[in-house]
């Protein structure tokens, strides 16, 4: 049985995942504090798990040992964590999700496209003339962070304060509970202040719209806070890593980088295949059996936990021809990088816009871009959630 953690796995999890797919596609994996999960690596089982309503999302459906290990819900009944759609089931999930998806209206997303382009150009202007850049700090981090702030209508001058808390939550797998608690408290307070300010002065933004829904009795105050919390966290770290991973894939394939610069390769095909080939979200979030069920020949009992490996499903040779090759424009469109079923990513269209604009603008401006250190020296996040590098130093070229 291969290691499923550690620096070697973080740098390249794919051989271990391929072994599991071939040998134990539903593997029991031990977790801290006596807890464990079923780890799902085949595409067909992943789709079955993501779409089966007998696998619930509420952390209160987990068995006692899992709940006590504080994995699904680090803190008891914290409203920002309990009352957000990623931890909700029907009917609450459908009711709240409908309001959020309608807030991601085509008009609002199109407006964000224009704003994303402006911001990308501004950020690239700042690094032009430097010769060198660190693309996570200089582009991949600030772009989605500023966009999610604009979407919610949060003041940009509060980004540093947000970052102080979010950076801790992003690396939560390595932290003691009390550190995580302080950071979550900080983010809760940040959101409470933001909501209070929006109530006083509403604007044409998603948060003001959600506040209206709350006043109309369509969502509770906790659901409002939970949604703001989820959008800030889910809409940021994922997209940062997606921009980093996509850039890195192209830096390692100069012929493709040149093809993009010449306009011979569509940017949307490049990004979609990058999300399949080396996506930013390793695993879907926890799911808990509420009834006995069978998954890939394995019986799952009520209260047991299932973790779906999106990275592995996206490299399953049963679905993708030559899955370990990066082939933009490949015909198979079955990638699970944005999930599947009721919890499919709400921000998928916005995320695609952000990554496409970031990469296209970067290559337009710096066609001679090169990695500034050997690939093997890059440091990968040791997170079970996000797959991405800490830093991406580059030579900007002529």
Judged by the rule CB under 6 A, the positions of this chain that interact with ligand HEM are 50, 85-86, 97, 148, 230-231, 234-235, 238-239, 242, 279-281, 284-285, 310, 337-339, 343, 345-347, 350-351
User: Which token pair is 77?
Assistant: 């009944």
Closest approach of ligand HEM to the CB of residue 262, in Å: 26
Q: Please, what is the minimum distance in Å from the beta carbon of residue 178 to ligand HEM?
A: 27
Dig out the tokens for 324 from the structure. Answer: 């370990």
Spacing of C-alpha 326 from chain mean position: 20
CA distances from 77 to 58, 71, 292 (A): 11, 13, 26
- Sequence-distant (6+) residues with CB within 8 A of 229 are 80, 81, 84, 187, 188, 191
Query: CA-to-CA distance for 246 and 229, rounded, in angstroms?
Result: 26
Q: Which one, 188 or 237, has the nearer CB to ligand HEM?
A: 237
Q: How far apart are CA 175 and CA 210, in angstroms?
A: 32
Least gap, CB of 176 to ligand HEM (angstroms): 25
How is residue 372 annotated by DSSP? Answer: S
**Least distance to ligand HEM, CB of residue 132, Å:** 26
Query: 148 vs 168, which CB is nearer to ligand HEM?
Result: 148
Q: Tokens for 396?
A: 């900007």
Closest residue to ligand HEM using C-beta atoms? 347
If the CB atoms of residues 123 and 372 are measured against ligand HEM, the closer one turns out to be 123
Q: Which two tokens stand for residue 55?
A: 């696998």
Residue number, 97 or 165, with CB nearest to ligand HEM: 97
Q: Of 286 and 366, which has the nearer Cβ to ligand HEM?
A: 286
Q: Which C-beta is closer to ligand HEM: that of 281 or that of 293?
A: 281
392 vs 396, beta carbon nearer ligand HEM: 392
Shortest distance, CB of residue 42 to ligand HEM, whole angstroms? 17
Q: How far is the CB of 234 from ligand HEM (least distance, A)?
A: 4
* Structure token digits, residue 118: 């402006």
Q: What is the smallest separation between the CB atom of 226 and ligand HEM, expressed in angstroms?
A: 10
List % helix, strand, coil for the chain (3-state, nearest 5).
55, 10, 35
Classify residue 34 as exposed, middle or buried by CB count within 10 Å of its CB (0-12, 13-18, 19+).
exposed
């Amino acid at each position: 049985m291969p290691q499923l953690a550690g620096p070697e796995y973080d740098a390249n999890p794919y051989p271990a995942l391929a072994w599991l797919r071939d040998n134990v596609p539903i593997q029991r994996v031990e977790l801290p504090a006596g807890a464990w999960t079923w780890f799902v690596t085949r595409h067909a089982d992943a789709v079955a798990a993501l779409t089966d309503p007998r696998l619930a999302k509420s952390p209160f459906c987990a068995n006692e040992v899992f709940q006590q290990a504080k994995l699904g819900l680090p803190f008891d009944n914290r409203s920002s964590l309990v009352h957000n759609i990623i931890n909700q089931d029907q009917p609450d999930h459908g009711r709240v999700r409908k309001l959020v998806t309608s807030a991601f209206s085509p008009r609002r997303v199109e407006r964000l496209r224009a704003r994303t382009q402006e911001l990308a150009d501004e950020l690239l202007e700042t690094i032009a003339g430097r010769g060198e850049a660190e693309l996570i700090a200089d582009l991949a981090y600030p772009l989605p962070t500023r966009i999610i702030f604009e979407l919610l209508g949060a003041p940009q001058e509060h980004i540093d304060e947000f970052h102080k808390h979010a950076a801790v939550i992003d690396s939560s797998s390595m932290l003691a509970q009390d550190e995580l608690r302080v950071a979550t408290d900080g983010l809760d307070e940040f959101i409470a202040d933001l909501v209070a300010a929006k109530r006083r002065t509403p604007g044409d933004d998603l948060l003001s719209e959600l506040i209206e829904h709350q006043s109309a009795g369509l969502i509770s105050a906790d659901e409002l806070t939970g949604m703001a919390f989820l959008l800030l966290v889910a809409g940021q770290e994922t997209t940062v890593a997606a921009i980093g991973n996509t850039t890195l894939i192209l830096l390692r394939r100069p012929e493709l980088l040149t093809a993009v610069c010449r306009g011979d390769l569509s940017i949307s095909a490049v990004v979609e295949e990058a999300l399949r080939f080396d996506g930013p979200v390793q695993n879907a979030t926890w799911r808990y059996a509420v009834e006995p069920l069978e998954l890939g020949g394995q019986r799952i009992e009520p209260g047991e936990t299932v973790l779906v490996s999106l990275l592995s499903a996206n490299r399953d040779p049963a679905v993708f021809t030559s899955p370990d090759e990066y082939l933009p424009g490949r015909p198979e469109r079955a990638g699970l990088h944005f999930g599947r079923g009721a919890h499919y990513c709400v921000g998928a269209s916005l995320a695609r816009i952000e990554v496409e604009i970031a990469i296209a603008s970067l290559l337009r401006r710096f066609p001679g871009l090169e990695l500034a250190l050997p690939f093997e020296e890059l440091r990968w996040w040791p997170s079970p959630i996000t797959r991405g590098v800490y830093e991406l130093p580059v030579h900007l070229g002529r």
